Amino acid sequence: MSGPDHPKKPRSRLLKWVEGVFFVLILFGFVVGGLAAWYWHEFNAAGPLRDEKIVVIPKGAGLNGIAKALADSGVIDNPLVFKLGARFSAEGLPLHAGEFKFPAAVSPRGAMRVLIEGKVVLHRVTIAEGLTVSEIYDVLAAQPDLDGPLPPKSPEGSLLPETYFFVLGDTRAQIIERMRSEMQVQLAALWEKRDKDIPLTSPDEAVTLASLVEKETSQNDERARVAAVFYNRIKKGMALQSDPTVIYALTDGKGKLDRLLTTADLKLDSPYNTYVITGLPKGPIANPGLAALKGVLKPQKTKELYFVADGTGGHAFAETLDQHNKNVAKWRKFLKSQAEGASGSEGEN
């Protein structure tokens, strides 16, 4: 005797439910896959930038703030794509703040790599040799990419002229401190290797004499020779008679003199005026560069006591006053010919 038939409807309904769920999962997979493919394409596709561009990412901006800054600057099109990419592709590495240069057509992934690598834009400020502290402070005050006020005036001769690199947000006080530190380090090293025969007793005296050499010549191959002239005069008890010391005394180190020196100027009562004192002036009259310091600490061996400009950018040197006077006469003749040529050109116009 056979048993009763089992109903098949419940099984059919279960199968349909499973098939429905399976279909939904497949459809969901296609949607997710499509979104993933779209995201991957957008994250790696070329961005809207036509030319490279510098963008500042503020400190503490966070991922939302970074994405907004990049979108507002036209580096990326879609902030959401960038944020998703940074969350899932940055491998836990931080995005840095600062000033960055983004190349043309950079992708969101490329923009992310720029911020991860943290290679911020470097600015530079060049301080020329022979500037006074006042002039250096004027240069830094006019540098728009530096922040903060200038610190109290540094002592004359304490700052090393050089090209200094910095990033946005660095301060003027930091640059001054770097210049001061560089001078101390370089001067100490050069002083240790100095010619032991030079008549100087301290690194400070070396800076003072180097400042005179720096103001007297801009020719690298003349600095050790000019230093030798000063040393020879010191050994003979002769006044150094350096015009830049008089100019420094007249201007108090604040800048250039807008006229020629007069005979009365040379008699100015000042501890800087090397026409009225013997030996070194009271202190430096400028901030000398490394070449001038090297020239002073390793001077040439000569018997020369005089030098005067020769009209070529250099100087004519002499051991005797008679020869020096002849060189001075040549210099004055050159100046006269220059003046006559200038007046002749004005007459033709």
pLDDT of 30 reads 44
pLDDT of 3 reads 52
Buried b (16+ CB within 10 A) or exposed e, 28-66: eeeeeeeeeeebeebbeeebebeeeeebebeeeeeeeeb
Instruction: Decide yes or no: CATH 1.10.3720.10 for domain 53-117.
Output: no
CA angle 310–290–213, rounded 5-degree value: 35
pLDDT of 61 reads 93
Rounded CA-CA distance 36/233 in Å is 83
The type of residue at 30 is F
pLDDT of 349 reads 47
Instruction: Kindly give the residue spans of alpha helices, DSSP state H, lying in the chain.
Output: 9-44, 62-72, 79-89, 108-117, 133-141, 172-192, 203-216, 223-235, 243-251, 263-266, 290-297, 321-348
Phi, psi (rounded to 5 degrees) for 197 = -85, -10
Angle between helices 9-44 and 108-117 (to 10 degrees): 60
Rounded CA-CA distance 297/290 in Å is 10
pLDDT of 226 reads 98
pLDDT of 26 reads 55
pLDDT of 35 reads 56
* Region class of 127: left (phi > 0), else alpha (psi between -120 and 50), else beta: beta
List, for the chain, all residue ranges whose pLDDT scores fall below the cut of 70: 1-11, 14-36, 341-349
pLDDT of 297 reads 98
pLDDT tens profile 269-287 = 999 999 999 999 999 999 9
Query: By the 8 A CB rule, do 143 and 180 touch?
Result: no
Name the residue ranges covered by the structural domains of the chain.
Answer: 53-117, 123-181, 197-339
pLDDT tens profile 77-128 = 999 999 999 998 888 899 999 999 999 999 999 999 999 999 999 999 999 9
Beta pairing, strands 306-309 & 315-318: antiparallel
